[in-house]
Structure 1
Amino acid sequence: MSKKILIVRTSSLGDLVHMLPAMSDIAAHVPGAQIDWIVEENFAEIPGWHRAIRETIPVAHRRWRKHWWSAETRAARAALRRNLDARQYDIVLDMQALMKSIWLVRQTHGLRHGLDMRSAREPLASLFYDVKHTVEFWQPAVTRQRKLAAAALGYTYEGPPDFGLERITDGVEIQPYAVIMPSASRDDKLWPEEDWHKVFGRLREKGLSLKLLSGSPAETARAQKLVQGHPDAEVLPRMSLTEVAKVLAAARIMVGLDSGLTHLSAGLGRPTIGIYKASTPVRTPLEGPAYTASLGERGNAPSAETVLSAVDQALATQAVPLGGDVPA
């Protein structure tokens, strides 16, 4: 007998990537699981990448909150409410544990699972679950999500995380380029330009061209400034998440600041180096089937020499994404 499961986790990019191994675990341990996922509209492509997700239900909370009481927003919220009201689930699993996710959970039908008061980021959220679970807070995010799903659905998982991204990686041939993510959501995450130039030089010595990601005019300007004097470097235009994922899947290596796209690269099975400066990798280390290095710490950025050493180690590996091939 199939079990209908609704996952509630709306954002952000890195957090959604960290969710994917839990979806693989559910599919492996719950026969006939039918998994739907409520997600913020800007990230609605992500659940569809995973082989186990049946349906994605987009929500536009980020957009709606700017004009919460406008006629258009009220109509959109009513449509979502009708959509959820028409569905019956065996389990509704809130994997966000924030009051903004509770707003969605309360509109669903099914046994509601979530974190208990000591485990939730916003403890008040736990008051709205039928079943509460303890998951120790100071663990890697991927581990926390796997443990919560296992507790809610009654199984024990084992083995390394499986991100379930074969829809992106199958048949991909690795190309001789490196993807660079030099921008982040906050300026205090940025790494010095002179250090980036040292990394660019090492990658070019290894025969790799450079593809820089950017998502806004300011990020594009920063990236263009960084690659001045590097004729084999390309600043990519703004793309959809699926298009970016395909660029990452074919890369020989990815070096980036602590960002959702850097975590996606690791999940896709690419050798990935993450540079942490304003955040800690204790709870959000890079995880994936290939070489990863989570370098630095809050208030203590890694040196260029540390990153260069990791680049050398990463390029010495032959790990490939699922279904991919490294040219001989």
Structure 2
Amino acid sequence: MSVRVLVVKTTSMGDVVHTLPAVEDLLRVHPDARIDWLVETPFAAIPLLHPGVNRVICQAWRQWRKALGQRATWQALKEARRQVRATPYDLVIDFQGLVKSACWALQARGHRVGFGIGSSREALASVCYHQQVTVPRAMQAVERYRRLMAAALGRSFDASLPARFGLAVPSECAWQPPARPYAVLMPCASRVEKLWPLPHWLAVARQLREAGLSLVVLWGNPAEEQLARQLASPSGAEVPPLLDVRACASIIAEACLAVGLDTGFTHLAAAYGLPTVGLYCDHDPHLAGLTGSDPARVYSLGGKGRPPDVNDVQVAVALALAQSSSTQRGG
């Protein structure tokens, strides 16, 4: 009889991407596992891209918490709780480690596993689990999640097994880049502290164009569209219309190289195996740096209060270009 598992990882996009290798580890041990995933609605497209995920249960706590006085909010909460409780699980694994995620895990029927006190992001969450797992908080996110999965399965973590993400490439997209091969640029972020100077982006765009690549600049709201067009206009890059996560995933997966800020789409590019250069301006990458199936193809530069130097970025882009050329030749 196949094991039934509920993955609780609700936000944000990069963190959801980082949980995928743990799901792959589960499927190595239990190829016929039935996996459900509880996630915030805006990020539901990510687990849906994994063929091993059976069902995605959406919740919208970020939206609901702003409207707790409305009847519709409580009806939506009730429906999400009904879906979580509908299936008995062998394992309910909370990869988030927050009180809010632990509360969702408590709604499910099954053996609850999560990070122990000192390992979870919020200590109170740990009391909600039947099994508390100690994993150093200073460990990179992908390895933390894989170690939690190993413990939930009653196994030792095998560091020799590479991280695999198992993402499928969406078969259709409403918009296609007009020219190939192309690189994807992701200069937009949710907070101004994460941004990298536009002149630096223009220098990188020029480098990629001189290497013979077309460019696509992704964006997600009107302010980001303005920035995308400021980059695209002098560099000849394409700016697509507003696309959903699935369509962006299709464009990213078919690119030959990606350069982006510390955002979910940059982590998605690394997960698809692209040579990817990540620019960190407001976080240190040692905990949540880019991770791909081949660590030699990802570059995480900069840190909190230490925006990466444009020359260092161009060196990394040159290395990524060489790797991309080798891949296109079949090397």
TM range (shorter): over 0.9
Aligned twin of 2:278: 274
Partner secondary structure for residue 184 of structure 2: strand
Where in structure 2 are the equivalents of 1:43-192 lying within 5 Å? 43-155=43-155, 156-157=157-158, 158-168=160-170, 175-192=180-197
Provide the C-alpha distance between the structure 1 equivalents of 2:113 and 2:325, rounded to a whole number of angstroms.
37
Provide the C-alpha distance between the structure 2 equivalents of 1:167 and 1:235, rounded to a whole number of angstroms.
21
Aligned twin of 2:307: 301
Q: TM-score, normalised by structure 1?
A: 0.93
Task: Kindly indicate whether the alpha-carbon contact (under 8 Å) linking 1:21 and 1:162 is maintained by their aligned counterparts in 2.
Answer: yes
Partner secondary structure for residue 36 of structure 1: strand
| Alignment deviations for residues 158-190 of structure 1 (CA, whole Å, 9 cap, x no partner) | 421100013449xxxx93111101111111111
* 1:82 shift after superposition: 2.3
| Alignment deviations for residues 201-224 of structure 1 (CA, whole Å, 9 cap, x no partner) | 111100111110110100111111
Aligned twin of 2:175: none
| Alignment deviations for residues 1-49 of structure 1 (CA, whole Å, 9 cap, x no partner) | 2111111111100000000010000000125311111111111111111
Q: Of the candidates 319, 322, 325, which is equivalent to residue 316 of structure 1?
A: 322
Q: TM-score, normalised by structure 2?
A: 0.92
Provide the C-alpha distance between the structure 2 equivalents of 1:83 and 1:138, rounded to a whole number of angstroms.
34
Where in structure 2 are the equivalents of 1:253-292 lying within 5 Å? 253-290=257-294, 291-292=297-298
Which deviates further from its counterpart, 284-293 or 302-311? 284-293
* 1:226 shift after superposition: 2.1
Provide the C-alpha distance between the structure 1 equivalents of 2:82 and 2:291, rounded to a whole number of angstroms.
38
Partner secondary structure for residue 114 of structure 1: strand
Q: In the comparison of the two structures, how many residue pairs are matched? A: 322
Aligned twin of 1:326: 328
Partner secondary structure for residue 228 of structure 1: helix
Provide the C-alpha distance between the structure 1 equivalents of 2:115 and 2:15, rounded to a whole number of angstroms.
16
User: Please, what is the CA RMSD of the aligned residues?
Assistant: 2.1
Aligned twin of 1:205: 210
Partner secondary structure for residue 275 of structure 1: strand
Aligned twin of 1:248: 252
Provide the C-alpha distance between the structure 2 equivalents of 1:127 and 1:11, rounded to a whole number of angstroms.
21
Stretches of structure 1 that go unaligned for 5 or more consecutive residues are: none
* 1:229 shift after superposition: 2.0
Task: Kindly indicate whether the alpha-carbon contact (under 8 Å) linking 2:8 and 2:95 is maintained by their aligned counterparts in 1.
Answer: yes
Partner secondary structure for residue 106 of structure 1: helix
Partner secondary structure for residue 114 of structure 2: strand
* 1:289 shift after superposition: 2.9
